[in-house]
Amino acid sequence: MSLKVSSLKVSSLFLLVVSVPALSRSIDSNDAPILDPAIIEEVNRQGLWKAGINERFLNVTVGEARSLAGLLEDIPKQPLSPPPVHPQIHLPISFDARAQWPHAIHPIRDQGRCGSCWSFSSTGVLSDRFAIFSNGHINVVLSPQQLVSCDTANNGCQGGIPANAWKYLVDTGVVTDQCYFYTSGTSGKRGYCYLVHPTNICPSGHGIRHFYYAHSAYYVPATELAIMHEIYYNGPVDANFQMYQDFHAYRGGVYQHVTGQHIGGHTSRMIGWGVMNGVKYWLMANSWGPQWGLNGYFMIRRGVNECDIEKGVVAGLPY
């Protein structure tokens, strides 16, 4: 009898020792560093793209990185316009909107501590398209803060849906960044909407507020060629995608998900395409500042819906 009891105690102890670390890892996963040396090593071992330490995410945890994943489930609250029909011409092997429209494609910005990628990408695309369509005569940086604070169809620093943001740009319009400064990147909070007061003065105090409107808002058909034609004719687009832990360590090459846990949804400006070492890619402008990736840009596999990158492309035309 004593032998049986002893065996039972040993078995129970073994189960306890095995199960506690597994439970601990599950509970503490949000507290782990987002830049994991094991992930970096695995990516570089496979040699598909280059991983490394990005200064932007030094001392950032998985949980903090999740708070920057600002793409919510893509269910727009209002219908969008039908997309434009483009002549189906032969497209170049590579295309970069920065080369096609010099001085029209605006520089990399940083959303800071706020999950406002949806606002940065939407206002960034409309800013670019105003400069493109006006031949540089309307070259403004539009305010992501206005959408973060005032667009009630989205959730500010807790995320948003680019399609809803584009409807806001059609219905309400947006002022310039100089008129309505970006402050949520520091606070991490949505903040008060300063456009509710019946005044024409900019919230920043810099002049009279002037609204810039989108004329239309639409989903681009979820095919490689449709997206390429849209960029070629009208300029950058919003591209929604799913984001994994290895993405935060991106330092070059054509990204494809290799390893690491799912972090959340993200959206960035898609500004072109090309081919590297036989791998087709989309050229992207992120909103994590120039200290991440390729001075703020990255490439991601094209034509295979990598991380759902071709599934939720949104755009609109300037008014």
Q: Give me the residue label for tokens 């793409």.
A: 71
In a domain, 221, yes or no: yes
What confidence score (pLDDT) does residue 259 get? 97
pTM tops 0.85: yes
In a domain, 218, yes or no: yes
Tens of pLDDT, residues 193-226: 998 777 899 999 989 999 999 999 999 999 999 9
Q: Which residues are catalytic?
A: 117, 266, 286
Share of the chain above pLDDT 90, in %: 86
In a domain, 11, yes or no: no
Whole-number Å distance between alpha carbons of 197 and 176: 17
In a domain, 14, yes or no: no
- Do 168 and 147 touch, CB atoms closer than 8 A? yes
Cβ of 102: how many Cβ atoms within 10 Å? 9
CA-CA distances (angstroms) from residue 207 to 22, 130, 147, 200? 58, 21, 20, 9
In a domain, 21, yes or no: no
- Do 160 and 149 touch, CB atoms closer than 8 A? no
Who has greater pLDDT, 312 or 21?
312
How many domains does the structure of the chain reveal?
Answer: 1
What confidence score (pLDDT) does residue 221 get? 95
- Do 269 and 237 touch, CB atoms closer than 8 A? yes
Can you name the residues that pair with 312 across neighbouring β-strands?
240
In a domain, 23, yes or no: no
In a domain, 25, yes or no: no
What confidence score (pLDDT) does residue 189 get? 96
Three-class secondary structure assignment of the chain: CHHHHHHHHHHHHHHHHHHHHHHHHHHHHHHCECCCHHHHHHHHHHCCEEECCCHHHCCCEHHHHHHCCCECCCCCCCCCCCCCCCCCCCCCCCEEHHHHCCCCCCCCCECCCCCCHHHHHHHHHHHHHHHHHCCCCCCCCECHHHHHHHCCCCCHHHCECHHHHHHHHHHCCECECCCCCCCHHHHCCCCCCCCCCCCCECCCCCCECCCECECCCEECCCCHHHHHHHHHHHCCEEEEEEEEHHHHHEEEEEECCCCCCEEEEEEEEEEEEEEECCEEEEEEECCECCCCCECCEEEEECCCCHHHCCCEEEECCEC
Q: Which are the contacts of 311, defined by CB distance < 8 A and separation ≥ 6?
A: 222, 240, 305
Q: Which of 37-51, 196-210, 273-287 has the lowest mean pLDDT?
A: 196-210
Write out the two tokens for 299: 């490439």
What confidence score (pLDDT) does residue 198 get? 75
- Average pLDDT taken over every residue of the chain: 90
Cβ of 294: how many Cβ atoms within 10 Å? 17
In a domain, 24, yes or no: no
Phi, psi of 30 (to 5 degrees): -70, -20
- Do 104 and 272 touch, CB atoms closer than 8 A? no
* Residue 170 structural domain: 33-315
- Do 284 and 271 touch, CB atoms closer than 8 A? yes
Tens of pLDDT, residues 167-190: 999 999 999 999 999 999 999 999
Look up the CATH number of the domain holding residue 309: 3.90.70.10
Whole-number Å distance between alpha carbons of 141 and 143: 7
State the distance between the two ends of the chain, measured CA to CA, in whole angstroms.
Answer: 86
